[in-house]
Structure 1
């Protein structure tokens, strides 16, 4: 069950629970203010001469960063926020930066973007090699500069915490792994960041992720992977090959290539062997997706423990509701989910971002 996107739910979420309506609330002042006047500092070198040096106080650009494990609702939060605070979104999912495999990498659709501009989403040619954190720091920094120049709020959203770290720290050393515990995490940032951490109880999240894999398969994930494996350049696409689903279905697609008719019995039904390999692949995808979520949570805890000011928003109850809603088409259940999502996730998120933007 995907977290639903619906234009009809956005405005009520912005006005419900006494949240201000969607309109500019002077959030652009930090972006277009002229630099303050220079402060003259006297530097006495001797009794007969003085030197005056102009010192400018540079204000860091404000950036909202939405973090969380895969499948926790970060994308939905980013769209809801972006439609209320005029924003543009920068993807920080290391698999979604590449062109192709839109279902497998779970990219947000054009329709669900609701007109919000997205950057670094499906823009990198997978044949050009793997995108490094240093590459992302450069590209993401340019995207932030462009968004700020348009007097919009940059929202960085994605589950790849290594990319987020590379983007926002003041001094980034690509040779150091700050997540293995052997190197300290810097709290010196090159942007004025508001970190939103969307958290879901791990058992609840795993149940949801397993259902989401089934939904992705129903949406054509296997057909997409079959086409990918049949392409000439797929073997050279180092980065995209790491997407969950690509290696897991490798053995299945090698033994049962598309259009071969292998593994089909009377009436075109799959034989037992084909069904078993398919089910093993799906099981592996679900297990690896949950393990990915666990690693992502571990990295977030590492950043929080190092002193990053992460504002945690608990989406657990809303996910319990969405799981029930997926099994019950009753509209009352969907309304209940919307109420819980608005109360537990969007209300605190809106307040956090609003306060962040109001502080000079």
Structure 2
């Protein structure tokens, strides 16, 4: 992929949005249908770690559809990948993709990692998201970025997130967490890394509650599920707030409204795939194509 004729900087696509908004699906759809030289770099600060694939809701091999994915479940969960380390690793991967004539597509909800990667100068102690104090967000970027924000209004997204948690539980999330704790693995993972995954602290509280009173296990389970859902809602809201900070700082973030898709999913409306293609995939494709042609 050539550097931008306007800026001289390497071109990358960045797909961001709140948890559950369809970022991974969109990136694969673009890579399989329109930009077949794409390679995806995961930018979710929990999904970078190996383990707890259901709990962290990693995209499956089947869903990846043969598209190369980087930094997805590759980091030892006993360690913590800092934003600075992510910047270094992802930068090398981007260089490799560009050298192969490919299109780097950064995908994830961790705005702080996106910021660490693309900011011209980065210092963990004085960045816009990770430092001990809130600092201004820089508008100086080291890549020519096409920022895509997949947005779903929260009153529609939250019921979907609740449904998604139920589906994750049906797929074995609770059993996965049970084995994670039973094996003692929870004692070795980094508490600032995989240990922060939604589901881990909630299950730990479930264990404490259930051990105190074995007759109230069902109550403890229901409370754990309720907290997983509530914490997921709060995460989505925080992620949107951070994206808005980037926009306010002058980042050219193109918003794609996927609300109608999720409304259709929740009401069992026919033609969800068609709505997704017309209202999400096609507009994104046009934005990215225009960006690459500049």
Shorter-chain TM-score bucket reads: over 0.9
Structure 2: distance between partners of 1:323 and 1:196: 24
* CA shift for structure 1 position 230: 1.9
Counterparts in 2 of 1:197 and 1:105: CA distance versus 1, 3 Å:
same
* Aligned residue number for residue 243 of structure 1: 197
Match of residue 247 from structure 2: 304
Conservation of the 8 A alpha-carbon contact between 2:16 and 2:147 = yes
Following superposition of structure 1 onto structure 2, how do residues 173-184 of structure 1 map, counting pairs within 5 Å? 173-179=123-129, 182-184=134-136
Is residue 88–residue 118 contact of structure 1 (8 Å, CA) maintained in 2? yes
Alpha carbons 2:127, 2:137 under 8 Å: kept: no
State the shift of 1:175 in Å. 0.4
Q: Which runs of 5+ in 1 are unaligned?
A: 1-27, 37-56, 264-270, 326-332
Question: Alpha carbons of 1:118 and 1:190: their partners in 2 closer, same or farther (altered >3 Å)?
Answer: same
The answer for the alignment partner of 1:51 in structure 2 is: none
Give, in whole Å, the separation in 1 of the partners of 2:115 and 2:217: 43
RMSD, aligned α-carbons: 2.0
Report the counterpart of residue 274 of structure 1 in structure 2. Answer: 217
- Tell me the SS of whatever aligns to 2:146: strand
1:204 aligned to which of 156, 159, 164 = 156
Deviations 1:131-170 (A, max 9, x none): 1000100011011011111111000000000000000011
**SS of equivalent to 1:171:** coil
Distance, in Å, in 2 between the alignment partners of 1:348 and 1:142 is 30
Q: Distance in 1 between matches of 2:229 and 2:7?
A: 47
Residue 230 (structure 1) aligns with: 182
Q: Tell me the alpha carbon deviations over residues 88-114 of structure 1, each in whole angstroms, 9 at most, x when there is no partner.
A: 000000000000000000000000000
Q: Taking structure 1 as reference, are residues 201 and 137 closer, same or farther at Cα in structure 2, changes over 3 Å only?
A: same
How many Å apart are 1:251 and its aligned residue?
Answer: 2.3
Which whole-Å CA distance do the structure 1 matches of 2:277 and 2:7 have between them? 37
Q: Which one of 61, 68, 76 corresponds to residue 117 of structure 1?
A: 68
Residue 287 of structure 1 corresponds to 230
Does the Cα contact within 8 Å between 1:226 and 1:253 map onto a contact in 2? no
TM-score for the superposition, normalised by structure 2 = 0.93
**1:60 paired to 2:9:** yes
Question: How far off is 1:294 after superposition?
Answer: 0.5
Q: CA deviation at 1:290?
A: 0.3
State how far apart, in whole Å, the 2-side matches of 1:244 and 1:153 are.
Answer: 31
1:194 aligns to what SS in structure 2?
Answer: strand
Structure 2: which 5+ residue stretches go unaligned? none
TM (norm. structure 1) is 0.76
Larger Rg: 1 or 2?
A: 1
Deviation at 1:324, TM superposition (A): 1.9
- Residues 209 and 220 of structure 2 are in contact (CA less than 8 Å); yes or no, is this contact kept in structure 1? no
Contact 1:99-1:124 at 8 Å conserved across structures = yes
How many residues align? The count is 287
Q: Give yes or no for contact 1:88–1:117 (8 Å, CA) kept in 2.
A: yes
1:1-360 alignment runs, 5 A limit? 28=1, 30=2, 59-83=8-32, 84-85=34-35, 86-127=37-78, 129-179=79-129, 182-238=134-190, 239-254=193-208, 263=214, 273-325=216-268, 333-334=269-270, 336-359=271-294
The whole-number CA distance in structure 2 between the counterparts of 1:182 and 1:104 is 30
Q: Are 2:7 and 2:144, in contact at CA under 8 Å, matched by a contact in 1? A: no
Taking a change above 3 Å as real, the CA distance of residues 160 and 146 of structure 1, as seen in their structure-2 partners, is same
Equivalent pair of 2:55/2:198 in contact (CA under 8 Å): yes
